[in-house]
């Protein structure tokens, strides 16, 4: 699914711009399902991310099908190999005319994963333009390794701890990942990126799926869970997660609560990855 030139581009720049992966009908169905199940935030006391927008693939059948989409996994296999796991997923529901934004950061900062081979697939379910606060990324920034971050208490920052790169950023070379519905971009876990507020009258909806090769492990003391979506797992670094049989069934709600409970416990306890490597 990816040419050698595209693989070289990813290795050198740390990302691939959006490419059409989902059909028009698939995108429309996913958008409707996402709005239906995640359009209203479920309370998540003390968190900046609503619980139904974190790891929705454990709660809803549509999200479970999305993270297993064959064309999506074909791209991931070219980037990280044949044994693929989903470690985390977040629905980025940026409402119309909102001040909510995502600061400059690296995904790796508090995930606690080693080695740094995690890839984020960002799935656009609506248009994602500069006016709507699309993702902006700094080419080649993944080559700098893990940089220091500082937690920000600003409630308008959508990240769990408001984690922000703690250094001056030269934004002159930033690339805006302008995307159509159904397109998917891919970025390296160390690539610095952000998104600004949505200044339009329409919501901007995207889903960030964190994929890892099965050899990647979590370095913290809390044993986490993940979902094998292609290949085999011979490492046993994570507890397997059950796929939901329907939307928000009793079993799915219990499995989801248990998984995100472990995830938040680990992410709050682990130091910044720059202090680990």
pLDDT in tens, 73-126: 999 999 999 999 999 999 999 999 999 998 999 999 889 999 999 999 999 999
Q: Is residue 259 part of a domain?
A: yes
Count of domains forming the chain: 1
- Give the pLDDT confidence score for residue 257 in this predicted structure: 94
Q: Is residue 46 part of a domain?
A: no
Range of the domain at 86: 4-40+52-275
- Give the pLDDT confidence score for residue 46 in this predicted structure: 56
Q: Is residue 45 part of a domain?
A: no
Q: Can you give the chain as a three-state secondary structure string?
A: CCCHHHHHHHHHHCEEEEEECCCHHHHHHHHHHHHHHHCCCCCCCCCCCCHHHECHHHCCHHHHHHHCCHHHHHHHHHHHCCCEEEEEEEEEEECCCCCCEEEEECHHHHCCEECCCCEEEEEECCCECCCCCCEEECCCHHHHCCCCEECCCCCCECCCCCCEECCCCCHHHCEECCECCCEEEEEECCCCEEECCCCCCCCEEEEEEEEEECCCEECCCCCCEEEEEECCCCCCCCEECCCCCCCCCHHHHHHHHHHHHHHHHHHHHCCCHHHCC
- Give the pLDDT confidence score for residue 110 in this predicted structure: 84
- Give the pLDDT confidence score for residue 40 in this predicted structure: 81
Q: Is residue 176 part of a domain?
A: yes
- Give the pLDDT confidence score for residue 273 in this predicted structure: 45
For residue 247, give the CATH number of its domain: 2.60.120.620
- Give the pLDDT confidence score for residue 159 in this predicted structure: 75
- Give the pLDDT confidence score for residue 274 in this predicted structure: 43
- Give the pLDDT confidence score for residue 45 in this predicted structure: 57
- Give the pLDDT confidence score for residue 277 in this predicted structure: 31
Q: Is residue 47 part of a domain?
A: no
Q: Is residue 164 part of a domain?
A: yes
Q: Is residue 233 part of a domain?
A: yes
Q: Is residue 110 part of a domain?
A: yes
User: Which residue numbers in the chain have pLDDT < 70?
Assistant: 43-49, 270-277
């Amino acid at each position: 699914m990816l040419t050698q030139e595209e693989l070289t581009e990813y290795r050198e720049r740390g990302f691939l711009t959006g490419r059409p992966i989902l059909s028009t009908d698939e995108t429309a169905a996913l958008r409707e399902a996402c709005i239906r199940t995640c359009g209203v935030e479920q309370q998540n006391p003390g968190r900046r991310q609503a619980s139904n927008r974190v790891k929705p693939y454990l709660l809803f059948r549509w999200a479970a099908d999305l993270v297993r989409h064959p064309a999506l996994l074909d791209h991931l296999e070219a980037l990280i190999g044949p044994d693929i796991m989903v470690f985390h997923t977040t629905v980025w529901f940026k409402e119309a005319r909102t001040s909510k934004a995502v600061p400059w950061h690296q995904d790796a900062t508090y995930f606690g994963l080693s080695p740094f081979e995690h890839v984020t697939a960002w799935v656009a379910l609506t248009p994602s333009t500069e006016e709507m606060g699309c993702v902006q990324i700094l080419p080649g920034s993944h080559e700098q390794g893990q940089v220091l971050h500082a937690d920000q208490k600003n409630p308008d920052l959508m990240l769990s701890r408001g984690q922000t790169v703690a250094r001056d950023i030269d934004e002159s070379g930033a690339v805006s990942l302008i995307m159509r519905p159904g397109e998917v971009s891919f970025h390296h876990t160390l690539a610095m990126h952000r998104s600004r507020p949505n200044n339009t009258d329409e919501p901007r909806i995207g889903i960030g799926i964190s994929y890892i090769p099965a050899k990647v492990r979590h370095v913290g003391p809390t044993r986490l869970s993940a979902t094998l979506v292609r290949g085999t797992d011979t490492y046993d670094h994570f507890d397997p997660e059950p796929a939901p049989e329907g939307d928000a069934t009793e079993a799915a709600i219990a499995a989801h609560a248990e998984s995100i409970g472990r995830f938040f416990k680990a992410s709050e306890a682990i130091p910044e990855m720059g202090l680990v490597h």
